[in-house]
């Protein structure tokens, strides 16, 4: 847990994962194969899933990738401003945030499996929504802590 005491370590690990997700989102957004997978029409009677499928088909996932890159850059800048290590209280909050993100992911996996089993046509949409929701929540909480503690 020594890496969590360092603002640089926290920003580096979070930024690397964000970079991977952003690269996947940006490179696959608007890709012909992804569009081919998503052209199954509106088989569900759900405006949410049909809207999410249209969002992905139109290549808008790249904007989420750009947002991840912007948040990662903000976290790096804020960690460079903060010169000293986090104290035990802050590290404990980071650990609890990581545990909460893990528990959220463990809860979302069975829900995603049930959704995929109910209509396999929406497997790509379900998995991409799982990733977007999970990592967006984690980034938002981590950025909030970084902003709050960079002022101390």
**pLDDT digits over 88-144, tens only?**
777 788 788 888 888 988 988 898 888 888 878 788 888 999 999 989 988 998 888
- How many angstroms separate the CA atoms of 40 and 43, rounded? 7
User: Do 55 and 29 meet the contact criterion of CB atoms below 8 Å apart?
Assistant: no
- How many angstroms separate the CA atoms of 16 and 30, rounded? 23
Mean pLDDT of the chain: 84
* Alpha-carbon distances, residue 122 vs 30, 86, 113 (angstroms): 17, 43, 11
pTM passes above 0.75: yes
- How many angstroms separate the CA atoms of 98 and 60, rounded? 28
């Amino acid at each position: 847990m020594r890496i969590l005491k360092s603002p640089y370590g926290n920003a580096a690990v979070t930024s690397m994962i964000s970079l991977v997700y952003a690269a996947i989102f940006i490179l696959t957004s608007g890709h012909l194969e992804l569009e081919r997978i998503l052209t199954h029409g509106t088989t569900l009677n759900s405006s949410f899933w049909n809207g999410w499928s249209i969002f992905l088909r139109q290549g808008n996932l790249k904007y989420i990738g750009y947002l991840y890159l912007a948040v990662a850059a903000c976290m790096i800048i804020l960690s460079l401003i903060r010169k000293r290590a986090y104290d035990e209280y802050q590290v404990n909050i980071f650990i609890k945030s990581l545990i909460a993100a893990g528990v959220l992911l463990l809860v979302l996996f069975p829900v995603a499996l049930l959704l995929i089993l109910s209509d396999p046509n929406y497997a790509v949409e379900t998995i991409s929504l799982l990733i977007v929701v999970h990592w967006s929540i984690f980034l938002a909480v981590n950025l909030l802590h970084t902003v709050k503690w960079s002022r101390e």
